[in-house]
Chain A
C-alpha cells in the first residue's frame, strides 16, 4: 500500500521552533495523529486533529492540516532538549488500524 511519508531527521537549537512534516495517503481518514517516542519507551499520543479542522493549538504544539495536499505538520514552539525524541504521524485508513510513518528523529542542541 501507499506509505505515510515523513522526513527522517530534524536538528534544531534549543529555543527555536521545530516543524515536522508528514504526507498521508487516505483522504477519508477521520483523525490524524502525532505520537512521540522517547528513547527506550513506547509511543505516547502527543496530539491529534479531526479531519474537518485546519489547525489545532495545544500549548507549545500547533498542528496544521492541508486536506487538499494531504499534508500534516507539527510545530513545536520554543523547543527544549526534553523534546528530543522520535515523532510519528499516523492515519486511520479505512477504520482498521493506524498506519504510521517511519518517524522523524528530532535532535535539540543546547
Chain B
C-alpha cells in the first residue's frame, strides 16, 4: 500500500441497503476526510477526523456516519442508501500540521444507488 486505498472501486447498491466504504492510509497522517463529488457541485465535505478517536461533521453529513478507531482507517457508512447518495466518494488525508492542509486523495469509489 502506498498512500490511500479506497474500496470498493465501484458499487451498485439497492436503495435501503447498508454500505460501508473503506479507506486506509499508510502515511501515519493524523487527519482524514470524506468528500463526495457531484457534477456541477464540486467536492463537498461529508465528515472529517482530525485525529484517531475524534470525528466531526462537514457540509453534507446527513445519512452518513464515520468512525476513527485507529490512525490508518476511516470507514464511511451509509445506513440506508437513497438514490441521492449516488456520487463519487473520495477519501483524503493530511498530516494535520498547523496551517498545512495539503491532502493526499484516494482514487475514489463510484457509488450508484438504484
Chain A residues engaging chain B, CB cutoff 8 angstroms:
30-31, 33, 35, 41-45, 48, 88, 92, 95-103
Contacts and interface: CB of A to CB of B under 8 A. Distances in A.
Contact of B42 (A30, A33, A97, A102): A102
A82 to B, nearest CB: 19
Q: What is the interface residue range for chain B against chain A?
A: 20 to 34
Given A96-B48, A97-B48, A103 B99 contact: no
B74 interface: no
Given A42-B90, A42-B108, A43-B90, A98 B42 contact: no
Greatest chain A CB density within 10 A among B42, B104, B107 is at B42
Interface in B34-57: 35, 40-43, 45, 48, 56
Greatest chain B CB density within 10 A among A30, A41, A88, A102 is at A102
B89 to A, nearest CB: 10
B103 interface: yes
A98 B105 contact: no
Contact of B41 (A33, A43, A45, A102): A102
A60 B98 CA distance: 29
B101 A33 contact: yes
Contacts of B45: 97, 99
Given A31-B100, A97-B58, A97-B101, A41 B107 contact: yes
